[in-house]
């Protein structure tokens, strides 16, 4: 092979090798993110974007990992980079909107005024890019419900989104309509919608969670337990519902013995990717043990939860109380 061609081949091989290395680092960072090993995930993903600044996946997941660590300011530029590198991705626009939305919710009125249009545009762009992205539509509906009219909030637009969601996903259509009724404090109407969803989709846990969360928000814990108990009766082998009953027990201080038993059973089970992960179950177990006066058990649960996920602020506070 002539010298010039050999040199060109060497450059191509070097570039391909670097791309393969960067992709491998990204895959490892994503794996660590899925396992909630967030600090390790951030380190791997930072290395990946250092090796390949054009790696949009690495930038996106680095934003996700930093957001999971509750470092929204640090997450924002990575989501912005991910969107710039892959402007046709509905998912990346959606998560940028979520990050900005959380920042706005925690900020001053001036900051909310500054960020609100960016939040709305990010969600609207996500829906424009993928009209079937139901989660993005739910995020946009939430924005329309929560934001004042001067910032683009609109109940008419929220109702329109609810109809579009129902056309694509009947179960989440109930969620969308119920969320509007919940915000309007028509709780009985919202609960009726969630009961219909539970009747139509008896093996899906989400309607029970939506109804339960209304009870938790109103500190009506009998109401919070009721849909979870009904779901467990229909699906006695379901493990995630045991976590959620334990969660309500931890929050309410009621049914603590059952809550502890259910959380310990859940911890002996291997959750799926979309199920509550081990650190969250340990955090709730710590709360229950603390309420039951077993400080040693609470300390062990909090320590193990923080070892697995150092971002859990409630565990750090519980650790101080139990030490």
Mean pLDDT score, 296-307: 95
Is residue 8's pLDDT more than 60?
Answer: no
Do 255 and 307 share a domain, yes or no? yes
Residue 5 pLDDT grade (very low, low, confident, very high; cuts 50, 70, 90): low
Alpha-carbon gap, residue 100 to 121, rounded angstroms: 11
Q: Is 190 within a domain?
A: yes
Do 311 and 249 share a domain, yes or no? yes
Q: Is 304 within a domain?
A: yes
Do 219 and 258 share a domain, yes or no? no
Residue recorded with tokens 């201080």: 253
Q: Which of 48, 108, 105, 95 is nearest to 68 (CA)?
A: 95
Q: Which residues of 81-108 are buried (b: 16+ CB within 10 A; e: fewer)?
A: bbbebbeebbbbbbbbbbbbbbbbeeee
Residue 3 pLDDT grade (very low, low, confident, very high; cuts 50, 70, 90): low
- The four Cα atoms 237, 240, 242, 245 give a dihedral, to 10 degrees, of -140
Do 265 and 311 share a domain, yes or no? yes
pLDDT value of position 16 = 44
Q: Is 32 within a domain?
A: no
pTM value?
Answer: 0.85
Mean pLDDT score, 47-66: 96
Q: What is the mean pLDDT of the chain?
A: 92
pLDDT value of position 310 = 83
Alpha-carbon gap, residue 290 to 280, rounded angstroms: 15
pLDDT in tens, 151-198: 889 999 999 999 999 999 999 999 999 999 999 999 999 999 999 999
pLDDT value of position 159 = 97
Is residue 9's pLDDT more than 70?
Answer: no
Question: What is the distance of C-alpha 293 from the center of its chain?
Answer: 31
Do 276 and 304 share a domain, yes or no? yes
pLDDT in tens, 74-94: 999 999 999 999 999 999 999
Helix axes 109-129, 90-106, angle to 10 degrees: 160
pLDDT in tens, 208-253: 999 999 999 999 999 999 999 999 999 999 999 999 999 999 999 9
Alpha-carbon gap, residue 170 to 149, rounded angstroms: 28
- Are 119 and 100 a contacting pair, CB within 8 Å? yes
Q: Which of 224, 257, 288 corresponds to the end of one domain?
A: 224
Do 251 and 292 share a domain, yes or no? yes
Q: In the 3-class helix/strand/coil scheme, how is 274-319 assigned residue by residue?
A: CCCCHHHHHHHHHHHHHHCCCHHHHHHHHHHHHHHCCCCHHHHHHH
Residue 123 pLDDT grade (very low, low, confident, very high; cuts 50, 70, 90): very high
Q: Count up the domains in the chain and report the number.
A: 2
Q: 186 lies in which domain range?
A: 170-224
DSSP secondary structure string for all residues of 89-130: -HHHHHHHHHHHHHHHHHS-HHHHHHHHHHHHHHHHHHHHH-
Q: Is 103 within a domain?
A: no
CATH assignment at residue 292: 1.25.40.10
């Amino acid at each position: 092979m002539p010298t010039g061609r050999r040199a060109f081949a060497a450059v191509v091989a070097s570039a391909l090798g670097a791309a393969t290395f960067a992709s491998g680092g990204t895959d490892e960072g994503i794996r660590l993110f899925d396992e909630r090993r967030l600090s390790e995930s951030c380190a791997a993903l930072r290395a990946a974007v250092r090796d390949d600044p054009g790696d949009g996946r690495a930038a996106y997941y680095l934003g996700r990992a930093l957001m999971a660590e509750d470092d929204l300011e640090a997450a924002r530029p990575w989501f912005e980079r991910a969107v710039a590198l892959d402007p046709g991705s509905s998912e990346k626009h959606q998560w940028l909107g979520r990050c900005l939305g959380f920042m706005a919710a925690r900020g001053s009125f001036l900051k909310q005024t500054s960020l609100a249009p960016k939040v709305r545009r990010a969600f609207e762009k996500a829906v424009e890019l993928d009209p079937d992205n139901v989660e993005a539509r739910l995020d946009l509906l939430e924005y329309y419900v929560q934001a004042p009219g001067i910032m683009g909030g609109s109940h008419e637009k929220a109702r329109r989104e609810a109809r579009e969601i129902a056309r694509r996903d009947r179960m989440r259509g109930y969620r969308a309509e119920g969320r509007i009724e919940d915000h309007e404090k028509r709780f009985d109407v919202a609960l009726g919608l969630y009961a219909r969803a539970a009747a139509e989709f008896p093996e899906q846990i989400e309607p029970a969670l939506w109804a339960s969360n209304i009870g938790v928000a109103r500190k009506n814990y009998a109401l919070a337990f009721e849909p979870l108990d009904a779901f467990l009766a229909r699906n006695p082998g379901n493990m995630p519902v045991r976590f959620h009953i334990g969660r309500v027990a931890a929050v309410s201080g009621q049914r603590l013995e059952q809550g502890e038993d259910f959380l310990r059973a859940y911890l002996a089970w291997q959750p799926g990717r979309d199920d509550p992960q081990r650190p969250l179950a340990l955090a709730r177990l710590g709360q229950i043990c603390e309420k039951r006066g077993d400080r040693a058990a609470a300390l062990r649960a909090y320590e193990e939860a923080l070892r697995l996920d150092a971002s859990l602020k409630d565990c750090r506070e519980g650790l101080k109380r139990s030490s």
